[in-house]
Structure 1
Amino acid sequence: MSNRIVITTDYLHPGDTVDAMLRERGLEPVYSPAGGHRADEEKLALFAGAVGAIAASEPVTAQMLAAAPTLKVLARAGVGYDNVDIDAAGELGIRVCNTPGVNHHAVAEMTLALMLSCARRLSSVFEGLGKGVWPREAGTELRGKTLGVIGYGPSGRAIAVLGAALGMRVLVSTGHPDASSHVSPSVEFADFDSTIGSADYLTLHSRAGKGDPIIGAETFTAMKDSAILINTARGSLVDEEALVTALEAGEIASAGLDVFQREPLVGDNPLRTMSNVVITSHLAGQTLEARERAGVAAAQAVIDVLDGKVPNGLVV
């Protein structure tokens, strides 16, 4: 029986904690870090001969899974798994796991960083300083503003805590409102339309759906023209073409984005050069602490499946 575990997560390395965990179990970690585009032949050969995998956020297609007949488990070193063809994995009997609860504080802190960057126009300040000028633009404060939170999982709750602590009114739109989950008297549940219409800052913390983006042209029309959109969740949640149009037309003031419909972000994407957009490279959950927790949790899920146990974070 194969004992190969393919690891594509680029922050996991030989000799680290995850490597030691797998080797102690008698498994052989094989490293093939995600680094952008892979040729079709490389994709099909990626998991060949492996019994398990710890995967980054690059796409894992039905064809890739079908080309790996020995594969029994694929663990995402992260919360999202929309990059994996779950239906195909289920049909092939491949267990797919994620690592919930490992990075929500990191995501919430990055969300706050993007909010502050947009509020204080830090991108233009940094750019101006780099050009030798001395920008003195007036930004805005978060205190007293309304924070709209779409989705109320761990990261949604964590940013609600931070928003409330800063003196913001927090509106939450979720399909599963639960009064017992309130983290502050400043947090209120509201429907989607009320949340987007009232928000000075609208931050997304929903799972990716299989349908159209939840934030599109109609959403931007309904938002305040002074509003700021923050997305540290999933690129598929936002219609990027509609976002660019809304930013150019002044339907919303600005956006702070860590995730995109296509990653890495292509060079000619207009979001790269818009003065009212702050972009980061899908690193909201990428703190040293969160990476350690995610890697260990993913490795444990692989080990549990191979030992015949039910792992934490089982998706299918």
Structure 2
Amino acid sequence: MKTVVVTTSPGFGKVGCVPQRIQEHDWEFIRCTDTTRPDGGVADHIERMEFLVVGLIPATAAVIGNAPRLRAVLKHGVGVDNIDVPAATARGIPVFNTPGANANAVAELALGSMLSLARRIPMMHQVVVGGAWQRHIGTEVEGKTLGVVGLGNIGKTLARKARALGMKVVATELYPDAAFVREHGIELLGLDALLAQADYVSLHVFGGKDNAHLIGAAELARMKPTAYLMNFARGEVVDLDALTAALQSDRLMGAAIDAYVAEPPDRSHPIFVHPRVVFTPHCGADTTESVERMGLMTIADIDTVLAGDRSPRVLNPEIYATPQRG
């Protein structure tokens, strides 16, 4: 009998050598990405599903609890805020993600967004294709200060690139890599001090209730009026209403947004007509190289579970201390 692998990720199994690797495994591979259904269509296969590879569609307690043959839940990405890890742990089911696989991709998009803001590239493009010839004096990033909120794999990769461009880097991180901080000359600060100093603030923290509105009106008020905010984390991390108010009153120079509370977002929100904001459709991890790395790591972890072994990427290792429950 074939192993049944269900995915709610639109990208898993489509890029690089990953489709061939899946074909070689001879799995029954099912894609459930129907956005009109809360579970993407997983319910149609839940009785037989052995592995669930998660995209942005949540893996809820109900999905996990009603899958009698489920052996592992795997995130095709890094953030697992849309996976009910406690529900999986209660059943003795391992949860995996792909740490570091998308770090370079997201860092490069953050860097590109920063340069786009500094030189108003999207606006200048529209000026030229619209038939006008309006030049704009921008700024250089060299010599500016980048504030990295969340110095994990993505934050560290961005910090290295920013330092190579001649930027000063300050960061806030609950569990900093002391050796990395020393090696790259990064100054660790509290969030308030970082916001006050940085010319660009780039967010790379997990979502969820603990970080909801991490950046709100009070935090935005601490930033320089010439500064830019960039959100490559999750939509709920930034209070969009407060950000809009700060931009409209010129208390903030601009912003770049890649993550939204609802996706696709409600474009009737006034921020979507602001000329100093750069928008991308939650595509930070969307490079051929990144998606291939995530896919290969996911396949490797499925193979590990099938072999009865443990992967170092398991997020709930405590399951191995107790027998699995149905």
Mark yes or no: TM-score above 0.5: yes
Cα 1:264–1:3 shift into 2, 3 Å:
same
Report the equivalent of 2:7. Answer: 7
CA distance in 2, matches of 1:234, 1:14: 24
The Cα of 1:63 is off from its aligned counterpart by: 2.0
Task: Answer yes or no: is the 8 Å Cα contact 1:168–1:186 preserved in 2.
Answer: no
CA distance in 1, matches of 2:43, 2:238: 30
CA distance in 2, matches of 1:35, 1:227: 40
The Cα of 1:20 is off from its aligned counterpart by: 4.0
Report the equivalent of 1:111. Answer: 110
The Cα of 1:162 is off from its aligned counterpart by: 1.3
Report the equivalent of 1:248. Answer: 248
Task: Answer yes or no: is the 8 Å Cα contact 1:161–1:183 preserved in 2.
Answer: no
Report the equivalent of 1:95. Answer: 94
The number of residue pairs the alignment matches comes to 315
Cα 1:16–1:292 shift into 2, 3 Å:
closer
The Cα of 1:118 is off from its aligned counterpart by: 1.0
- 1:177-219 Cα deviation digits (max 9, x unpaired): 3431127554211222111110100011122243233111110
- 1:291-315 Cα deviation digits (max 9, x unpaired): 1100010111122123221123212
Once the two structures are overlaid, the 10-residue window that deviates more, 122-131 or 168-177, is 122-131
Report the equivalent of 2:41. Answer: 42
Q: Helix, strand or coil: the match of 1:286?
A: coil
Report the equivalent of 2:27. Answer: 27
Aligned-pair identity (%) = 34
Report the equivalent of 2:150. Answer: 151
Cα 1:17–1:167 shift into 2, 3 Å:
closer
Once the two structures are overlaid, the 10-residue window that deviates more, 19-28 or 164-173, is 19-28
Cα 1:35–1:267 shift into 2, 3 Å:
farther
Report the equivalent of 2:230. Answer: 230
- 1:16-42 Cα deviation digits (max 9, x unpaired): 74344345445321223x363325693
Does 2:257 match 1:257?
A: yes
Cα 1:31–1:178 shift into 2, 3 Å:
closer
Does 2:63 match 1:51?
A: no
Once the two structures are overlaid, the 10-residue window that deviates more, 170-179 or 157-166, is 170-179
**Alignment-mate amino acid for residue 252 of structure 1:** L
Report the equivalent of 1:197. Answer: 196
CA distance in 2, matches of 1:41, 1:142: 42
Report the equivalent of 1:298. Answer: 298
Report the equivalent of 1:61. Answer: 60
Report the equivalent of 1:80. Answer: 79
Cα 1:40–1:180 shift into 2, 3 Å:
closer
Cα 1:167–1:3 shift into 2, 3 Å:
same
The Cα of 1:172 is off from its aligned counterpart by: 1.1
Report the equivalent of 2:167. Answer: 168
CA-based RMSD: 2.2
**Alignment-mate amino acid for residue 273 of structure 1:** V
**Alignment-mate amino acid for residue 42 of structure 1:** G
The Cα of 1:102 is off from its aligned counterpart by: 0.8
Task: Answer yes or no: is the 8 Å Cα contact 2:225–2:252 preserved in 1.
Answer: yes
**Alignment-mate amino acid for residue 230 of structure 1:** M
Task: Answer yes or no: is the 8 Å Cα contact 1:45–1:67 preserved in 2.
Answer: no
Task: Answer yes or no: is the 8 Å Cα contact 2:170–2:187 preserved in 1.
Answer: yes
Cα 1:271–1:310 shift into 2, 3 Å:
farther
TM-score between the two structures when normalised by the length of structure 1 = 0.91
CA distance in 2, matches of 1:15, 1:228: 33
Q: Helix, strand or coil: the match of 2:294?
A: helix
TM-score between the two structures when normalised by the length of structure 2 = 0.89
